[in-house]
Structure 1
Amino acid sequence: MAMCPGDTTEWDDIHRKLGNFAPRAEEVPQRELEKMVVETVEKFDALDHCKLAELDCLEDDVEEDVLAKYRRKRLAELRAASQAAKFGEVRQVTRCNFVAEVTEASGDGQWVLVLLYVDAVHACHHLGGPWAQAARRFPAVKFLKGVASEVVPRFPDSSTPAVFIYRDAECKKQLLGLGEWGGPDCSADCVEWVLAGLGVVRTELEEDPRRRAGAGRSRPTWRRGGRDQSSSG
């Protein structure tokens, strides 16, 4: 005889008591499910998801004091976003101002990204352009670059381009080489994807652009807390 969903046999029940079978998952009653859906819908505030221009179009349909409250909230959000977007370009860094521009500037949760490069290394030029585009794309993130030897004496040319990612006054990640960024075909989308994977930015990209760029043939060394970790694609 066919069993209804959720039914168990006496054999199952015995073994559950003995601990041989996993406990039955508690099923949520249909009424509880319906209640959860209703409560979720009732709590959804459509006005809270409207843009400023959309709020202006609702003047005839919504009470003025209610609209005023949402306008104030949206304007405050726009001001906060504007204040956060205070960079938007790649700035130069040297050993003399590294502590102030990087370590100290990354306090209080500010992301600071440093690209060390060598003019004679072609791989550095492949990342330089996309790095500048990403800086304009994410003005709330501080993008820096510096000649490797002027920031870290005797820094090996073979390890460039090298990216150091700072937050809360400490280095969170080091990415050495071009491989992680998509190789010679690196693009601003590749930079965005990598940074999104590290939690630095948010992205609306749905697939890894490095696949199109032919990434994965060679991967650089990732360093976390001073230890080298080889990643393989």
Structure 2
Amino acid sequence: MNDTPWQSEVHWRREGQQDRAHKTQNRVLDAAEILFFEQGYDATSVQHVAKQAQCSIGSVYHHFKDKKAIAFALFDRMTREFELTMREVMEPARWEGAGIADILREFIEFAILNNKARPGFKSAALEAVRLDPSLGDHFPQMQRKANKQLKALLLARRQEVGHPDPAYACGYVLDLLIALMRARFDPHVQKSQLSRLSNAKFTEQALSLACAFLQLDKQETANHV
């Protein structure tokens, strides 16, 4: 990875200073996030969560009414962290001096690192949607907002794009990358060729596809792919 101002700083935002109660709640939620992903919501009991969190069952019930309340709290935490992260990552000043290839590379690498660090992040929150389908509308709303902001970052550099319709091309490329990452990481999607690639190889190939479709300046692309 190149040594540039915007790289190595893009990371998932967690809530800052916390009191003892919030730390305990987050420890319980972290445990539930792992267990719901590894063994499923239905197979996970409050006792399992307490053991994973290394706290008493009474402590879990002190903070959460039941297992369903834990699932809803995970969903709430995911949405708050997503919004906090996007607010920071999408700040235009952060990307001063970055080209489209730089931004797309960071987008891909950020997704890879987040999936590695917290593979159950999204799937745990989806359990809340299964329990209350009305929550499902929130996911596409968050994704649309993030995509709109990311597309704006790319279009602010439209002079790099050789495609005759930069707005369409940028939107298409973002949809393409999201689909590729879903095929690679989503445990509910049938395993594909993409799942067998190393992270580095996946990044290079996905970025090459995106840059080719956008018809970025060849020299600019060569500097970042």
TM-score by length of 1: 0.27
Greater RCO structure (CA 8 Å; 6+ sep): 2
TM normalised by structure 2 equals 0.28
Question: Could you say which structure has the higher helix fraction?
Answer: 2
* Higher alpha-carbon Rg: 1
